[in-house]
Structures are given as C-alpha cells and as structure tokens.
Structure 1
C-alpha cells in the first residue's frame, strides 16, 4: 500500500507506539505507520477493573471482526456498539496506539479510543467524549489528533452521546448479532414475507413459529438485510413496519 499523497514526509515530530503481534511494543515515526492495520493490533492500555472506579471498562464481542474489542466507559461501549452495527465499518480496534509529541516544555501523549476501517480501505480515528466533559487539555489532544490524521490520510471524529432511541434499538438488535442466529429456511421465509412492507410481529408469525423466527428476524435487522421504518425515531415494537432492504439479493 502506497503512502497517501497528503502525508507530510518531513512532518512534525510525531511518533506512534503500538503493540505489534510480531515485534511486541514498537515506536515509530508517523510517516512509517500510515499504512499499518491498526484495526488488528492489541490495545496499548490494559482494561482494568477496580472497586470504586467511576469508569466501567470491559470487552464487547464485535460481529464486525468476530473478536472482542475493549471499552473504558459506558459511552465508549455505546459508540462501539453503533460502530459494530454500521455497515460502513469492516474493522475496529480499541486504544490502537499512543501518539507522542513535544509541546515545547515536555513530551505529551494521547491514545485515541478507536481505529476503524472502511470498506474502501480508508481509516477513521475516533475519540469518544461527551461534550460537557471536554476539558482544555482534552481539546488540545483532540486537535493534535485531528492534525495528525490529516497528515496520515486518515479521518478523525470526536463522538459524543448518541441518540437514545437509536441506541436502544441497536442495543436490542445486538443481542442477536452472532451468526448463529442466522437460520435457514426461516431467513428465506422472512425475506419473502417482507418483500412487501408489513408489521414486525405479523411478519414473524407469517414466516413460522415466532419463537423460532423472531431471533432470525432480529439478526436480519442487525445485518440490515431488513429495514425497520423510523428506527432512529421510534422504539422497535410489534407494529413496527419492516421491509426487505432495497438492493439486497434474495
């Protein structure tokens, strides 16, 4: 993979340190890292649990990569869940690297929360922080990260609190994200039933016993082979209108 044309080869004194599966911990100049697959590396920080902590770290099994991805707060977990649901995300890595720079007085460092890969090969570096919790030092680190991403040919996003209704719907569907929920011939029957838009529960019943068809239906909604009307605005329910997603091969 060629180095993106936008990368300043001289560049500021920015270095990245990360965990390489072959060489262990490495620290290299930014210009040497722009083609690295940071969605596949191990986190540079350990996700620790201790009594009395304000944060709630943990591991989330991502269907996108079929492996566990770490988070350090409920907000990070929520954003991770939405990234896993996003069809334009094909790879996710948490705490992928440390950014090292010197502010004129001392060395500084910042570890972005996520590195994601798009289907076209492009990359996005993500920091997750609620608007009201951004302190001056955080704003400085985010701005530095944004400028580094411009040099590397990556995109940078700072994500805050997501929409509550959309999150609730995706959280429900995430219970059925594992491939084991995709069962035939129930999936084929559901695709056929929802060729024409119809209520969620009525369609599940039309495809067979709802106890067996509902998990498959929710998995197809997770895969976005089926689309729920007004999902960002209304909670999923028995009367939610569902239809086969346009352009999906049956």
Structure 2
C-alpha cells in the first residue's frame, strides 16, 4: 500500500529560519537520495493559517510517498534530510495517509496511487493548483474570504496553505471528521462556492489536483499537541496508529 507522508516543521529564531529557507534549494539535492522515496515535494507556507500570498518564514513542509507505512515511519524518523530538519526545528508533526481518490495532475503527473478504500471517519483533503499568471490577482482577491470561512468552521481539525512557488503554485490541506462535513463546506453557498464557480468560468488554473486520504497515523506534535485530538475520540481510536 502506497503511503503519503506530510511533515510540517516550525522554525523559531532568525538563524533557524534562514537555514530552513536555504533548504528549499539544498534539500533538493539530498531528499531524492532517500531510500524508498517516491514522489517528493518541498513546500513553504503562507502567513496566518497559510491561505495568504505572504510567505511564512517559520513553517515549511515535506510531502513524500513511500511503499508502506512501516517504511514511511522509518524513513521520516531516520533519513538524513528529515533528521536535519528536526535538529533545527522547534517542533514538527507528520501525518501518514493512504489516498482514497485522486483526480488531476501535479507537475504533469498523477502523484499518488489510490491504495485504500474510503471509510467512515476522519479524512484529509488536498487540493493543488497552478494559477495562470494572468488570473493570479483575481485568485488572491478571493482567498481572504475563503480563509475566514474555513477558519470559522468548527469541523475542520487542521487546515493550512502550502506551496512550491509563491502566488502561482498553491496547495490547500485540511482534515475533517467525515465526508459529510467536508461536503457541506464545499457545497454551501458562500465565498468558497463562489470562488469555485469563478475558477470554472474564468479558466484560472492551468493544472489542478484533488485528492482525499484515509488517515493512518501520525508522529510528533504541533503546538504541543496533536491536531487530530479535535476529532471524535471513537473515530480516532478506530483509525489512528500513533507513534
């Protein structure tokens, strides 16, 4: 079963932040040499909850695919690049997932293999888009309203905006207690629904990807706790393997 890991690292202090920013270049040399790694992406984040065009110099992310959960845990815990990031980071949190649906492409290819069936309970959603430069201003004018709605939704256990290239390559990642709550947010009339309609009508994106994941486990912490604690305990105990 292919497993997707998404690791977040928070850096405090000027030196640590400069080091992390430099890794957006240097880690591209070491990360591909990690044994068993498949697709990998180095990403920065936006300020606030990440859904802004202004970069957050304190939070970075590594996304990668692995042949199994065991291998994913082992490599994230012990591979050189991950150990270097943790050595400089004030905190880190990794989520391990298996894709249940994938539609679209990332960099001209389908990045994830569907390797799990949808199941009741918590799920993660990832959307990735390449914004056409001519549409970037209109896109970012919509984002603050969407961000406020997401932040006010009590069902969202975790949400963040990340990206490879500021302004043009954007990824949104969120965790929901179930598919019903996620669908309700996506379909309810409001800033998000209107933005989606505008995207379709105006052809704002040159490439899109939509993926959903079953949550398999986690490692580390974020804000001295686990974001998954916001999910219902019964569902969490049934689906989650923590290390």
TM tier, shorter chain?
under 0.3
Q: Normalized against structure 1, the TM-score is what?
A: 0.25
Which one has a bigger Cα radius of gyration?
Answer: 1
Which structure shows the higher strand fraction?
2
More helix by share: 2
Larger RCO: Structure 1 or Structure 2 (Cα < 8 Å, ≥ 6 residues apart)? 2
